[in-house]
Amino acid sequence: MKHSKSKWALTLSTAAVAIGTLLAPVAHAADQKFKIFLSMSYIGNDWQAEAANMVKAMAAHKNFANKVDLKVQVAGPNAQRQIQQINAMVQQGAQAIVVYPISPTALNAAVKNACDKGVMIIAYDGAISEPCAYNVSIDQEEAGRVTAEWLSNKLNGKGNIVVITGVPGVSVDTLRTKAAKEVFAKHPGIKIVGEAPGMWSQAVARTELSKILATKKWDQIDGLWMQAGCYTANTMQIEAGAKTNQLKPCAGEGSNGGRIQMLPVGTAVEGANGTYAPMGAPRISYASPPYSGAYALKLAVQKLEGKTIPKDIKLPLPIVSSDTVKYCKEGTWAEMAAGCNAFPPALVSNPGWFAAIYSPETPEIGLDAALLGQPE
């Protein structure tokens, strides 16, 4: 009888171990998060800070907070450093890396190495040419071409223009500038009388434009093509004594300050003051959407969960002209879905902040995500 009890106890013990073995992986899977890294390059401007906020907000959203362990590293405008960081991420067990690439080709060997080890690589804004990488971006050449065509048409194919580019060496800047200059070359009457890198920063754009204005007066400039800085250019003209109806046409970035300036004079705008106010400025405003990194993160999670996603995603180019600018009174998701694209200065104090934050693909993030890194 004693032997029988012992045998029964052993059977129960064995069964408990077996049940525990079956249950343990399930519990572990429920607790496990995907280890995802954000690899950023240059960060010294409003766009990069905003894009990082939106990535962090997406990771913090209730749909992803229990799935994503997000870690962020910044390489600066240094391809070799970004390569070293990507290699280290792989060694640290990364399952996916969301990348703002400094170059479309320089990272290829590191990216291929990561892919070979089962790590998903997905780039945003700039593209990576290595075939195993995924890419989420606008057509950067289209951005340069469309804005240059607008400016050329606005000037009737002739006039002196100033060109303020982005961050030298970054593919986004290279592609936009190349496409724009190809358009200008088709109009012999258009002359580039000043050019400088603006680093996608309103502050740098002011510095570089001031240097150009040391040798050229505003009455010697007919228009501007600026990857970032139209808000600043309008402000500098007003500071120099120009009236709002004398502002030079500017093809440039989707900063909120620039879009508020595009609104008709007299538009009631909460918090408007000084040059952060409606001026009826002649503008075309575009942007690489700062939500692209957050969307890349969302796609990375889908891929890690076993879903199929497209290899190369081209985002719609958000183009706003003086005719299509639309004021958001509160900046709600519903307002943005209805087409508003310029936000109250009372809510967005920084005029250099980028307003192209809406996508129907990313309902998890909105105004608070871009401003504060907080999800909807």
CATH code (residue 108): 3.40.50.2300
Q: Is 38 domain-assigned?
A: yes
pLDDT of 304 reads 98
Contacts of residues 191-194 at CB distance under 8 Å and 24 or more positions apart, as own/partner, are: 191/159, 191/160, 191/161, 192/161, 192/162, 192/163, 193/160, 193/161, 193/162, 193/220, 193/221, 194/162, 194/163, 194/221
Identify the band that residue 103 occupies on the pLDDT scale cut at 50, 70 and 90: confident
pLDDT of 15 reads 39
pLDDT of 31 reads 59
Q: Is 349 domain-assigned?
A: no
Q: Are residues 111 and 236 in the same domain?
A: no
pLDDT of 169 reads 86
Average pLDDT of 76-97?
96
Considering its fold, how many domains does the chain have in total? 2
Q: What is the pLDDT of residues 229-241, one digit of tens each?
A: 999 999 999 999 9
Give bridge partners of residue 68 from the DSSP assignment.
34
Average pLDDT of 74-88?
94
Q: Are residues 121 and 149 in the same domain?
A: no
pLDDT score of 57 more than 50: yes
b/e per residue, 138-168, with b = 16+ CB within 10 A? bebbbbbbbbbbbbbebbeeebbbbbbbbbe
Q: What is the number of other CB atoms lying within 10 angstroms of the CB of residue 129? A: 16
β-pairing, 319-321 vs 134-137, is: unpaired
* Sequence-ordered list of residues with C-beta below 8 angstroms from that of 369, at least 6 positions apart, any chain: 53, 54, 57, 58, 294, 357, 375, 376
Q: Is 372 domain-assigned?
A: no
Q: Are residues 236 and 305 in the same domain?
A: no
Distance from C-alpha of 150 to C-alpha of 229, rounded to nearest angstrom: 17
pLDDT score of 1 more than 70: no
Distance from C-alpha of 265 to C-alpha of 261, rounded to nearest angstrom: 8
Q: What is the pLDDT of residues 269-313, one digit of tens each?
A: 999 999 999 999 999 999 899 999 999 999 999 999 999 999 999
Average pLDDT in the chain: 91
Structural domain ending residue among the three candidates 265, 286, 307? 286
Q: Are residues 236 and 248 in the same domain?
A: yes
- Residue identified by tokens 């009631």 is 268
Distance from C-alpha of 92 to C-alpha of 97, rounded to nearest angstrom: 12
* Sequence-ordered list of residues with C-beta below 8 angstroms from that of 120, at least 6 positions apart, any chain: 95, 96, 97, 134, 300, 303, 304
pLDDT of 43 reads 79
Which residue did the predictor score with more confidence, 150 or 376? 150
Give the range among 15-19, 92-96, 212-216 with minimum mean pLDDT.
Answer: 15-19
Q: What is the pLDDT of residues 106-150, one digit of tens each?
A: 999 999 999 999 999 999 999 999 999 999 999 999 999 999 999
Contact between residue 108 and residue 87 where contact means Cβ atoms under 8 Å apart: no
Q: Are residues 210 and 298 in the same domain?
A: no
The one-letter amino acid code at 304 reads L
Domain that holds residue 119: 33-138+289-315
Contact between residue 322 and residue 267 where contact means Cβ atoms under 8 Å apart: no
Q: Are residues 164 and 211 in the same domain?
A: yes
Q: Are residues 304 and 270 in the same domain?
A: no
pLDDT of 44 reads 76
Q: Are residues 41 and 92 in the same domain?
A: yes
Q: Are residues 167 and 103 in the same domain?
A: no
Percent of the chain with pLDDT over 90: 86
Q: Are residues 125 and 167 in the same domain?
A: no
Q: Is 348 domain-assigned?
A: no
Backbone angles phi, psi at 121, to 5 degrees: -115, 125
Q: Are residues 252 and 154 in the same domain?
A: yes
pLDDT of 211 reads 98
Q: Is 306 domain-assigned?
A: yes
Q: Are residues 61 and 197 in the same domain?
A: no
Contact between residue 218 and residue 240 where contact means Cβ atoms under 8 Å apart: yes
Distance from C-alpha of 203 to C-alpha of 228, rounded to nearest angstrom: 10
pLDDT score of 16 more than 80: no
